[in-house]
Amino acid sequence: MNVKIRNAAADDAEQLVPLIEMLGHSIDAAGVCERLACLDDTDIPQIVAVDDRRVLGLCGLHVMTAIHRARKVGRITILAVLEDCRGRGIGRSLIEAAEMRLRQRGCQLLEVTSNDRLVNAHGFYLHLGYEQTSKRFAKALA
């Protein structure tokens, strides 16, 4: 399998929907296109793993400035690989590409957010050298 990592494009929207939905998010292709356009404005491209026919994986990136950090913090906000493509190094390739891109944007730290229920993903991140450093809490605003 010849896998290439590249920036996500609006043309990928239909194929990104099932990857995003795998993680419990409800979205449609129009919503994906809208968010990709907003993210393009931040100059932080989202990245995908593709073969000759389809999108195999998605990695969402974000860069933030935190008052308590000397340099920017990078964050992987979503990582998803099609179930039939797991175990082939695609997730690792996406993480490596994310690390490189975020390092180039001046990030000193890379965080990965992951839902508590995704225990297998947590093992994957630990295997790649990430450590659990905190808990995250969320509240929907009306």
Domains of the chain plus CATH, in order, are 4-127 (3.40.630.30)
Q: In which band, very low, low, confident or very high, does the pLDDT at 28 lie, cut at 50, 70 and 90?
A: very high
Res 70 pLDDT > 80: yes
Cα distances from 26 to residues 18, 135, 141, in angstroms, run 9, 24, 18
Q: In which band, very low, low, confident or very high, does the pLDDT at 139 lie, cut at 50, 70 and 90?
A: confident
- Name the average pLDDT for the chain: 88
Q: DSSP secondary-structure letter at 84?
A: G
Cα distances from 78 to residues 1, 18, 124, 131, 135, in angstroms, run 23, 13, 14, 17, 17
pLDDT at residue 29, as a whole number: 94
Q: DSSP secondary-structure letter at 114?
A: -
**Rounded distance between C-alpha atoms, residue 102 and residue 100, angstroms:** 6
Q: In which band, very low, low, confident or very high, does the pLDDT at 117 lie, cut at 50, 70 and 90?
A: low
**Rounded distance between C-alpha atoms, residue 83 and residue 95, angstroms:** 17
- Look up the pTM and report it: 0.87
4 pairs with which residues across the strands? 50
Average pLDDT of 93-106? 94
